[in-house]
């Protein structure tokens, strides 16, 4: 079983809805990540939080808003999404921020998001 | 240019046989790490094995081994004694050292879908 827990597993939302994805880890990791993965494609990095501060934003549209309330939790707030935003959203964590070539990421099972 | 290239979109292997999944990479940085992840249909990305650029020996983890050929810039994954549960998508990834244009992020290849036949 993964030690990174994501909820919900599936989410269907309309373009005018506001929803949030949640991610939790209790491994004491200090870096947390959001990835977006379209079908049959590799994951694409969206955001990185290091020590609860946003350190990387890969030019993600503002309709995606990340939040890191504490070192164990990571949220992704969604508002006014488009159908092309439908994808698997993966959360990951690592022990320290990615400044070591040895640092491996632990992933959750993802939230499968469908935007209608 | 792609940093990580996986040339096999799909592979089939008979149960109990060994299979090699190819991965080549492109970097001018002498310090980097190479990773393999498995993604079953459930969606979770599962870490399998790691190789550092300075590691002298090829990494092994149970049935997984990494055939690291630095001069050829290849890091192929070898799965011995394939099992039905090995059917999944496999991603090769690389992390470069922070600096010189790199943020130290994990860069993924496009993946190889492995199907194990009974």
pLDDT digits (tens, 9 = 90+) for A35-80: 999 999 999 999 999 899 998 888 899 999 999 999 999 999 999 9
Which of A8, A37, A101 to mutate: most B Cβ within 10 Å?
A101
What residues in chain B have per-residue pLDDT under 50? Answer: none
Q: Is the distance from CB of B92 to CB of B108 less than 8 angstroms? A: yes
Q: What pLDDT does residue B74 have?
A: 97
Tokens 């990421």 belong to residue? A105
Q: Which tokens in the block code for residue A82?
A: 């488009």
Identify which of B50, B96, B103 has the shortest CB distance to residue A104.
B50
pLDDT score recorded for residue B29: 87
Collect all residues of chain B within an 8 Å Cβ-Cβ radius of residue A90.
43, 45
Distance CA B89, CA A102 (A): 23
8 Å CB contact between B27 and B42: no
User: For B91-111, what is each residue's pLDDT tens digit?
Assistant: 999 988 766 566 678 899 999
Q: What per-residue confidence (pLDDT) applies to B22?
A: 98
For residues A34 and A44, is the Cβ–Cβ distance under 8 A?
A: no
Check residue A43 and give its pLDDT: 95
Rounded Cα distance, B9 and B7, in Å: 6
Minimal CA separation from B89 to chain A, in Å:
9
If we measure between CA atoms, which residue out of A79, A33, A29 comes closest to residue A57? A33
pLDDT of amino acid A102 = 80
Q: What is the pLDDT of residue A58?
A: 85
Distance CA B55, CA B34 (A): 11
Q: How far is B109 from chain A (nearest CA, A)?
A: 7
Please indicate whether, in this complex, the C-beta atoms of B91 and A109 are within 8 angstroms of each other.
no
Answer yes or no: are the C-beta atoms of A79 and A16 closer than 8 Å: no
Q: Are B18 and B113 in contact (CB under 8 A)?
A: no
């Amino acid at each position: 079983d993964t030690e990174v827990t994501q909820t919900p597993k599936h989410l269907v939302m309309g373009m005018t809805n506001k929803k949030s994805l949640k991610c939790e880890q209790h491994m004491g990791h200090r870096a947390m990540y959001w990835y977006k993965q379209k079908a049959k494609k590799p994951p694409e990095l969206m955001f990185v939080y290091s020590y609860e501060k946003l350190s990387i934003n890969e030019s993600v549209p503002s309709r995606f808003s990340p939040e890191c309330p504490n070192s164990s939790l990571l949220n992704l707030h969604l508002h006014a999404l488009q159908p092309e935003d439908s994808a698997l959203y993966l959360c990951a964590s690592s022990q320290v921020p990615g400044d070591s070539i040895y640092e491996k990421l632990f992933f959750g099972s993802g939230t499968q998001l469908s935007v209608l | 240019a792609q940093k990580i290239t996986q040339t096999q979109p799909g592979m089939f292997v008979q149960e109990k046989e060994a299979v090699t999944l190819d991965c080549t990479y492109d970097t001018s940085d002498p310090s980097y790490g190479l990773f393999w992840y498995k993604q079953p249909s459930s969606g979770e990305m599962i870490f399998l094995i790691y190789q550092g650029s300075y590691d002298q020996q090829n990494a092994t983890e149970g049935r997984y081994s990494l055939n690291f050929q630095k001069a050829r810039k290849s890091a192929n994954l070898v799965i011995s004694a394939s099992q039905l549960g090995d059917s999944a998508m496999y991603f090769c990834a690389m992390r470069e050292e922070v600096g010189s244009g790199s943020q130290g992020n994990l860069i993924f290849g496009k993946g190889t879908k492995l199907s194990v036949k009974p």
